Structure 1
Amino acid sequence: MLLLPGTDPGLERALAAALDGGRPVAPLPPDPSAALAMLQPDEPVVEDDAALIVATSGSTGTPKGVVLSRRAVVSGSRATHDRLGGPGNWTLAVPPHYVAGVMVIARTLVAGTRLQHASSDLSDLPEVTGRNYISLVPTQLVRGLADPRITKRLAAYDAILLGGAAAAPELLARAEERGVHVVTSYGSSETSGGCIYDGVPLDGVTVDLVPAPDRPGTTRVAITGDVVFSGYRLRPDLTHEVLDGRTLLTRDRADWVDRRLRILGRLDDVVISGGINVDLAAVERALHDVDPQGVALGVPDPEWGARIVVAITTDHSLADVRAALTTLESPARPRGLLRRDPLPLTPTGKIDRQQLLEWWAAGPGECPAWKESM
């Protein structure tokens, strides 16, 4: 296994060698301590055809090492270009130690196209000619559309591949109005990045909704195809829980709307409060009119079992939020509020829910956000 910082200029060359049968590559984050503890580089890589080992984002817990085969990386790269309209150059503006970033590099290697670089704030976004693509998270797109110069450069791309978190309909509409072509992407490290574009699986990818064993009456997303990972690094126990041959059993709930997959939330987003199942994703959808960036959390509570808490960036009180969510059942209406702008993000641009939970649990004077409770 070859360990390289994600910012190392040799990463592209090392990945090319790995895809050609060389040693698998593990891109490291700026602080590599957790990744090294997970990777245990002195232990051999036992998975056949391993090319890449990437860490999950860790937004809801300890990161895991996802082993991707050459077949998975190449299949995902080719299927992406087939869906987007053909091979093109790519601009790398997301961290290359996560799957979204390193797959940008991989697509250029597989297609023999050019890789360009931009900072995460897109302030140095290059002018492009010919067929070009870029991968972003919603936070980047929101901020980019606020700058006319960046918006003009984004509009020159043939597609903005948007993933990592759900995109608000208002954001997609704003991008379309400004001539920015967005393709929403759903997937994970375990599927070589996004494998479902605008709700439609890529060629070679099959999606089924199967019963969730620990949630009676609930189904979860199952993804089958060559893009699926080989297993978690040195964790056969965790691998066995989610991998059945070439099928990944996710923790996501979804349904089909007009033959397009609509993600409803995580299985873990359903918490019991006051004896009632509360869907945190449904709370967030209701919260959208108060704050499109707002998130809902379930925190331990001695009376309710779980207390619903929301984290927002707007200047609303807990009473304001509760008054705006009268369509929800009483147990689903928040009994706590964290307010801070901006909310904490993981390096991939997702809301850092683990950090928010720690803030809520913090004692007086230790929470860096406004906290209100009832």
Structure 2
Amino acid sequence: MSLMSDLAEIAAEQPQKIALITETSQMSYADLLDLIQRLDGPLAMKGLRPGHTLALDTSRAEFVIAAIFLASLRGLTLAVAPTLRCRDAGLIPDFSLVHKPDPALPRDTQIVVEPGWFSTPLRQRADYRGLGKDNARYAFQSSGSTGQPKLVIAEETEWRVAMAHAMSLGTDPQRGQRLLSTLAPTTNWAAGCNIETLLSGGSVVSLGAQSDRLLQYIDLYRIDTLATAPGMVPKILEMPQAGQYLASLRDAIFAGAVVSPALLDRFAKLTTARLHIDYGSTEVGVCFRAVYRPGTPQAPGHVGRLVRPDLEVLFCDDSLTPNPEATEGRIAFRRPAGQMRSYLRQSGPDASGAGFTHDGLFLPGDLMRREGEEYFILGRVKNIVNCGGNKYRLEDIAELLERAFPDSQMVPLIDTGADGLEAIALAYRAPEEIAPAAIAAALKPRFRGLALLRAQRLDAFPLTPTGKIDRRTLTELLAANT
């Protein structure tokens, strides 16, 4: 059965049940099917056919969700990414769904969302039950294990298996019936949560600009499952009387980055919900999940147990050779009985050994160990800062800052803020002091969510015996001078 067929079956049973709520719209299951049909007609008239590629130049949740089901219906490759990003990655879409004409794109490949589509009544509603190709392909953006933006290709059947496990929270059968997500609907993780909730007959609330009002939405719509990034926890804790809005919450899922145990302990005082910490990536989906137990000592780096029976976990040595007996090393994943995802224009692992290998492994670039059924992160193979799920190369940060401030030498270092989230500290050499506000302003346009904890100007950098900058000593130096 395809995603589209399953949605149609559920919609036939509960056409008027709320499927999706955003800041600007509220849609029933019947409305969602109508939107899919309204997209299908103009796209078909433009010449969109099975096997074609459609890019989304929109991040509105209703269009992302509808396009995912439409791809299932027509056997499309859906790039959940802007057209120009697709082209940069080497993918040339056949068509692009846009809200207004884009002069940078070929006119005959643009399908502009027209207001008239929604004001004109449908002559006849389509019945999609039993339809769908079950061979759609989805391309999601990834910051990559190396911090380099990439497109990850997932087959419909594999993607569905992965997202079903991602939403299996181990509660009662009614779990996830009312999901609120503050994550961008174009991300693999958020899209999977949204689609799986709909396929279980539930309702989705997707917030963007009004994420700071999530407590009111949780209370108003009796949300039972919250999916958000760790960076949202400090904001919730700052909201007055936060606990009174969380009575309906049963599960809260945090994904994208490490979250501070101290923050989770404070959050747990506001709600009786179970707190889930997810580890995964766009390249493989959610892999590990830990249930956080407030007040219980937590081992450093604990990411929980494997929640994907379709995945095999391996440990590799520095030559990327799997060792079946090892319980520590470079973590790797593979699907013994199915298709792995892949990067568009895959060329094998990068210089650090992170990425997809030619024999079906994916290495995220993390060093891990296993104790029984529990897994723990020990560190990273390469210098990547993880800011709320956005991974940035330290080399790229340094390059941008050295362009912004000529005659400077920049050395960004991974650090952890008081909230337990990763950020950077900066050591630099320059003719004169640079205001931290100026540095932060230079970083903001390109490195979304990246926090600058401290910056210090030095006359010289400490060096290793081989003449390289001694980052460990430099980190200690900055910490001592804070």
Work out whether the TM-score is over 0.5: yes
Shift of 1:127: 2.9
Shift of 1:113: 2.0
- Deviation string 1:235-281 (CA, Å, 9 cap, x unpaired) is 344599524555422211111246311112211149xxxxxxxxx99
Shift of 1:181: 3.0
Match of 1:108 in 2: 197
**SS at 2:345 equivalent:** coil
2:237 aligned with 1:184, yes or no? no
1:197 and 1:120 map into 2 onto residues whose CA distance is 28
**Contact residue 147 and residue 393 of structure 2 kept, 8 A:** no
Shift of 1:148: 3.4
2:257 and 2:170 map into 1 onto residues whose CA distance is 20
Which one has the largest radius of gyration?
A: 2
2:342 aligned with 1:231, yes or no? yes
Match of 1:144 in 2: 236
**SS at 1:78 equivalent:** helix
**Contact residue 209 and residue 222 of structure 1 kept, 8 A:** yes
Q: One-letter code of the match for 2:141? A: A
1:154–1:181: structure 2 CA closer, same or farther, 3 Å change rule? Answer: farther
Q: Aligned runs of 1:86-105 on 2, under 5 Å?
A: 86=173, 87-88=175-176, 89-105=178-194
1:53–1:336: structure 2 CA closer, same or farther, 3 Å change rule? Answer: same
1:82–1:241: structure 2 CA closer, same or farther, 3 Å change rule? Answer: closer
Match of 1:371 in 2: 456
**SS at 1:12 equivalent:** helix
Alignment partner of 1:200 out of 299, 305, 316? 305
**Contact residue 68 and residue 230 of structure 1 kept, 8 A:** yes
Alignment partner of 2:318 out of 201, 212, 237? 212
2:51 aligned with 1:17, yes or no? no
Alignment partner of 1:38 out of 72, 81, 89? 89
More deviation, 219-228/102-111: 219-228
**Contact residue 66 and residue 229 of structure 1 kept, 8 A:** no
1:58–1:187: structure 2 CA closer, same or farther, 3 Å change rule? Answer: closer
Alignment partner of 1:52 out of 138, 141, 153? 138
Shift of 1:171: 1.7
1:370 and 1:348 map into 2 onto residues whose CA distance is 17
Match of 1:273 in 2: none
Aligned residues: 308
2:78 and 2:394 map into 1 onto residues whose CA distance is 36
Shift of 1:310: 5.5
Shift of 1:351: 3.6
1:340–1:64: structure 2 CA closer, same or farther, 3 Å change rule? Answer: same
Q: One-letter code of the match for 1:135? A: A
1:257–1:60: structure 2 CA closer, same or farther, 3 Å change rule? Answer: same
1:227–1:54: structure 2 CA closer, same or farther, 3 Å change rule? Answer: farther
More deviation, 14-23/178-187: 14-23
More deviation, 157-166/100-109: 100-109
- Deviation string 1:159-198 (CA, Å, 9 cap, x unpaired) is 2211111112212222222225320000000013x22111
1:188–1:9: structure 2 CA closer, same or farther, 3 Å change rule? Answer: same
1:39 and 1:296 map into 2 onto residues whose CA distance is 21
Alignment partner of 1:76 out of 141, 153, 162? 162
**SS at 1:68 equivalent:** strand
**SS at 2:283 equivalent:** helix
**SS at 1:123 equivalent:** helix
More deviation, 103-112/217-226: 217-226
**Contact residue 138 and residue 162 of structure 1 kept, 8 A:** yes
- Deviation string 1:315-349 (CA, Å, 9 cap, x unpaired) is xxxxxxxxxxxxxxxxxxx9937995897679997
Shift of 1:118: 2.0
When the two structures are superposed, what TM-score results if normalisation uses the length of structure 2?
Answer: 0.53
Shift of 1:63: 0.7
Shift of 1:82: 2.6
Match of 2:60 in 1: 7
Match of 1:169 in 2: 261
**Contact residue 175 and residue 181 of structure 1 kept, 8 A:** no
1:200–1:8: structure 2 CA closer, same or farther, 3 Å change rule? Answer: closer
More deviation, 80-89/161-170: 80-89
1:78–1:264: structure 2 CA closer, same or farther, 3 Å change rule? Answer: same
Alignment partner of 2:427 out of 336, 339, 363? 336
Calculate the aligned-residue CA RMSD, in Å. 4.3
Match of 2:478 in 1: none
Q: Aligned runs of 1:125-140 on 2, under 5 Å?
A: 125=214, 126-127=217-218, 132-140=224-232
Unaligned runs of 5+ in 2: 1-52, 96-133, 291-303, 387-391, 400-409, 419-424, 429-433, 461-482
**Contact residue 24 and residue 51 of structure 1 kept, 8 A:** yes
1:189 and 1:268 map into 2 onto residues whose CA distance is 18
2:356 aligned with 1:242, yes or no? yes
2:231 and 2:193 map into 1 onto residues whose CA distance is 18
**SS at 2:158 equivalent:** helix
1:229–1:130: structure 2 CA closer, same or farther, 3 Å change rule? Answer: farther
**SS at 1:190 equivalent:** coil
Q: One-letter code of the match for 1:176? A: A
